[in-house]
Chain A
Amino acid sequence: MLTKRIIPCLDIKNGRTVKGINFVDLRDAGDPVELAAIYAASGADELVFLDISATEERRKTLANLVLKVAEKINIPFTVGGGISSVEDVDILLQNGADKVSINSSAVKDPDLINRLAAKFGSQCITVAIDAKLIDGEWIVHLVGGKVPTELNLFEWAKEVEKRGAGEILFTSMNNDGTKNGFANEALAKLSTELNIPIIASGGAGNMQHFCDAFIEGKADAALAASVFHFKEIEIKDLKEELRNKGIPVRI
């Protein structure tokens, strides 16, 4: 049986792991390669590296870090941040990334999704969507959640699926950094209306929140950062708890 995935996210700036509260006020939480190895050993199913400074600073690749991570760890990982071309993706995959995640560049150039899927296959193309609930409508935002677009979350999600995305990483800006739980209603709607895996992101504060994201939110995977980085939740304990609740996990 396919299991639900637990994914620590390592936000990277200047080669170090950081996690912002609502994407500002950054705190340093360690060396990414070392953290990656610890997470792989502790039962994480997958890792995501997001260069959160990349879009603003136009930093191109994390190729060097990717190579170091690939050398050390034996679980899959996704890399995102500043990826805007077929060449960018080619370099990251060649260096050992399993998947790439694109965000702003997909909004600016939706055909990029088609080109990437055609060249590398849908299975390695994750489209990350940051959205904020404004006056009852989920609006897609760019540049780490700072710039609103005119896109509706659900319409955009369906379009990226049609264009060949292999999965969607949905971050609720309303929930991110709050530790009050994931945006389960929006997650469930995404998961029901689309036929590709949905990764829940933003709002994890305790173990029950993960449980809710899988049951109420129907998510295929759940991503979190600070609760793992600051050891508020141990992945082993979390997986035991999920299994006790009847949710299939790899232990």
Chain B
Amino acid sequence: MKIVIIDYGAGNIQSIKFAIQRLGFEAILSNNETEIKTADKVIFPGVGEASSAMRMLRQSKLDLVIPTLKKPVLGICLGMQLMCTKSEEGDTTGLGIFDAPVIKFNNSVKVPQIGWNQISQLNSPLFNNIKELEYVYLVHSYFVAECDETIAISDYGVKYSTALKKDNFYGVQFHPEKSSDAGEQILKNFLEL
């Protein structure tokens, strides 16, 4: 199985590579269009600020490649957010794969949300062998509201989408590579899709 982690300069890609290694697979880090198009599984990471991450994606022309992929794609954290229509962070236009905008938490809660929260209403093979209300690790200031593409929700002052799915595209707001054994199970589930 060929696993490619998209390397466009915005993400904690080393941790994802190591998590996949712990599952017994090797992942390639690449920003090369051909490598990405020929992968069986593509992971689209992202850490940082939306507009600068989107700029880096455009510079490598990957904004045109990612939406055309036919194999399973997993966006993580900011990666998931960039797959949405737009983000309030830096007034950023996203890839438009998921039909929902990314908005900021209001000040009734501490922002960013940092730590372990629970996921529920799990509705995808991505969550095989994951129990309702399992804990996952999240670090984010912006979120996607519940929508038709929601496959898991969390509650942080508001109930929101912690995972999305459309066709072959998956997105998780949490960090599976940092979410202990449950996170590794979710990554394993993705690799088995």
Chain B contributes a number of interface residues (CB within 8 A of A) equal to 38
Question: Does A2 lie within 8 Å of B116, measured CB to CB?
Answer: yes
B52 within 8 A of A: yes
Task: Say which residue of B139, B155, B180 sits within 8 Å of A124 (CB atoms).
Answer: B139
Write the A3-28 contact mask toward B (1 if CB under 8 angstroms, else 0).
11100000000000000000000000
Contact A74 B139 (CB under 8 A): no
Interface check B128, CB cutoff 8 A: no
Interface size class of chain A, counting residues whose CB lies under 8 Å from the partner chain:
35 or more
B135 within 8 A of A: yes
Q: Is the CB of B15 within 8 A of A98?
A: yes
Please provide the chain A residues from 180 to 195 with a CB less than 8 Å away from any CB of chain B in the complex: 195
**A123 is contacted by which of B14, B117, B118, B141 (Cβ under 8 Å)?**
B141
Interface flag for A93 (CB, 8 Å): yes
- Residue of A40, A97, A118, A123 touching B139 (CB-CB under 8 A): A123
Q: Tell me whether A93 and B112 are in contact (CB under 8 A).
A: no
Question: Which residues of the partner chain A approach B114 to less than 8 Å between Cβ atoms?
Answer: 5, 123, 166-167, 197, 220-221
Q: How far is the CA of A45 from the CA of B136 in the complex (A)?
A: 10
Question: Interface digits, A116-139 against B, CB 8 Å rule (1 contact, 0 not)?
Answer: 011111111000000000000000
Using an 8 Å CB-CB cutoff, how does the interface string of A73-116 with B read, 1 for contact, 0 for none?
Answer: 01110000000000000000111111100000000000000000
Please tell me if the beta carbons of A74 and B181 are within 8 angstroms of each other in the complex: yes
Contact with B along A37-75 (1 / 0, CB 8 A): 000100001100000000000000000000100110011
Verify B175–A76 contact, CB threshold 8 A: yes
Contact A121–B48 (Cβ < 8 Å): yes
Contact B14 A70 (CB under 8 A): yes
Beta-carbon contacts under 8 Å, B11-47 to A: 12-15, 18-19, 21-22, 47
Q: Which residues of A contact B21 (CB under 8 A)?
A: 71
* One of B47, B178, B179 near A121 (C-beta < 8 A): B47
Q: Are B18 and A71 in contact (CB under 8 A)?
A: yes
B85 CB → nearest A CB, Å? 20
Do the beta carbons of B115 and A122 come within 8 Å of each other? no
| A70 and B140 contacting across the interface, CB-CB below 8 Å | no
Cβ contact within 8 Å between A74 and B117: no
A158 at interface, CB cutoff 8 A:
no
Please name all residues of chain B whose beta carbon is closer than 8 Å to the beta carbon of A120 when the two chains form the complex. 47-49
When C-beta atoms are compared, the residue in chain B nearest to A43 turns out to be: B180
Q: Mark B153-193, 1 if CB is under 8 A from A, else 0.
A: 00110000000000000000001011111011000000000
**A120–B116 CA distance with the chains assembled, in angstroms:** 21
Q: In the docked arrangement, what's the CA distance between A118 and B89, Å?
A: 11
Min CB–CB distance B86 → chain A (angstroms): 17
Q: Which of A70, A99, A121 has the most CB of B within 10 A?
A: A121
A3 touches B115 (CB 8 A): yes
Tell me the bound Cα distance from A221 to B179 in angstroms: 17
Alpha-carbon distance between A250 and B183 when the two chains are bound, in angstroms: 14
* Inter-subunit contact B116/A45 (CB<8 Å): yes
Cα separation A71 to B175 with both chains bound (whole Å): 15
A2-B48 contact in complex given A195-B107, A196-B111, C-beta closer than 8 Å: no
Q: Are B110 and A220 in contact (CB under 8 A)?
A: yes
Say yes or no for A147: interface residue by CB 8 A criterion: no
Q: Which 5 A-B pairs have the closest CB atoms?
A: A96-B14, A121-B48, A250-B135, A250-B116, A123-B139
